[in-house]
Amino acid sequence: MPIVQFTGKPGHWYDTTTGVEYRQLPDGTMEAVKSGGASHVSNVGGSIIDENGVIRTVQRSFVDATASGNTEVVPAQGTGIKIRVIALYHVSLTAVTVKFQSATTNKSPGIPAAANGGLVLPRNDHGWFETAANEALNVNLSAAVATGVMVDWIPVV
pLDDT 10s digits, 23-67:
676 766 666 665 443 322 223 347 888 888 888 888 889 898 999
At 55 the pLDDT is 81
Assigned CATH for 59-156: 2.60.120
- Using CA atoms of 76, 78, 81, 87 in order, give the dihedral in degrees to the nearest 10: -30
- pLDDT tens for 2-16 read 555 555 566 666 666
Q: How far apart are CA 157 and CA 125, in angstroms?
A: 15
Q: Which residue has the higher pLDDT, 65 or 1?
A: 65
- pLDDT tens for 110-144 read 999 999 999 999 999 899 999 999 999 999 999 99
Average pLDDT for residues 56-83, to the nearest whole number?
A: 91
Angle in degrees, CA 147, 153, 157, rounded to 5: 135
Domain residue extents for the chain: 3-45, 59-156
- Single-letter amino acid, residue 151: V
Cβ pair 46, 38 in contact under 8 A: yes
Question: Which sign does the torsion angle of CA 78, 84, 87, 90 carry?
Answer: positive
At 59 the pLDDT is 87
